[in-house]
Amino acid sequence: MSEKEFRLEPPKVGIIKGVQPKDIEVVGEGVVNVRLRAKPYSNSYTPEQLEKVAEVAEEYASGKVHLSPRHNLEIPEVRSGSLMKALQELFSVGLQAGGSGTSVRNVYTCPDYCPNRVKSVRELGAIVSELFGDMPLPNKLTISFAACPSACSRPYHVDVGIVGVVRLDLHQEKCRKDCPSCVEACPIEGAISVENGLRIDWQKCVNCGRCAWVCKEGAVEIGKTGFRVLIGGKEGRDVFFAQEYLDFADSFEVIEAIDRAIRQYKKLARKRDRRKYERLGELVRRLGGVEAFMDQKI
């Protein structure tokens, strides 16, 4: 039996107009821009990968590299005749064209080394990327994971946002009224007080856990960690804040929620003009909110 030769299938090439799903963009005669993402998923790049990107950019392109807001690497002005060779070299270090167009965009996560994180998100982000990354959709869809409510990865105004949160356990008998550590650590004024006994205003509390980190007496402790699931945000000319769908979910519930949101979007999205379909956030608002969107019978 003869051995089959391994061949790298090149992505589709075309001019991006509106929302056509292309990862390689024709920008001139014999010149293309290439957008890349790590596969398997990673929210950081190795020195070997960065060195290879630099080599490819210098040998086959203009020598420039762009890092997009969603952690994609972009190599502009790759010569069309060298495209396949460039893709092969990039593929050998775990980089391939992807993460753009009318699809699930490159999943964005916080780094695991951030001291403020309350819930690791990199592993879950990798699972979501492998399950849904580059899946064709009516329009682009972004998913961001934040390891704490500080939300540096912008989960509050993307299509699907996941935020790590904590639930606190209070032990009044251990609280020292003369210790202001928890009050000083809290990022929200008035969310926690100790003057008349340990109290937390749960309407103001953002569930970041900072009060528990600094409490040396054990009066405030982290009970459990979980995720807030937010759906229907949008960036761009019209900015929408995502709406809360789940307030404290485990990892599998997050995956289930993302899966349902994507399936609902694929089946319910309408064309808003001749070329473009509505974004997920526009659909959520058209149906009257996130609950109506997620519960809509298909």
Task: Report the topology of domain 13-97.
Answer: Alpha-Beta Plaits (3.30.70)
Q: Is the pLDDT of residue 6 over 90?
A: no
Task: Select from 3.90.420.10, 3.40.190.10, 3.30.413.10, 3.90.1150.10 the CATH code of 108-166+224-295.
Answer: 3.30.413.10
179, 214 in Cβ contact below 8 A?
Answer: no
Task: Work out the number of other CB atoms within 10 angstroms of the CB of residue 118.
Answer: 24
Peptide bond between residue 149 and the one before it cis (omega within 30 degrees of 0)? no
What distance in Å separates the CA atoms of residue 37 and residue 39, rounded to the nearest whole number? Answer: 6
Q: How does the average pLDDT of the chain come out, rounded? A: 88
Percent residues over pLDDT 70 in the chain:
93
Percent residues over pLDDT 90 in the chain:
64
Each residue's pLDDT tens digit, 173-211: 999 888 889 999 999 988 999 988 899 999 999 999 999
CATH fold match for the domains 13-97 and 108-166+224-295: no
Query: Looking at residues 219-229, what average pLDDT do you find?
Result: 96
Stretch among 3-17, 54-68, 133-147 having the lowest mean pLDDT? 3-17
Question: Which pLDDT score is estimated for 298?
Answer: 64
Q: For the chain, give every domain's residue range.
A: 13-97, 108-166+224-295
Q: Closest by alpha carbon to 256, among 289, 231, 292?
A: 231
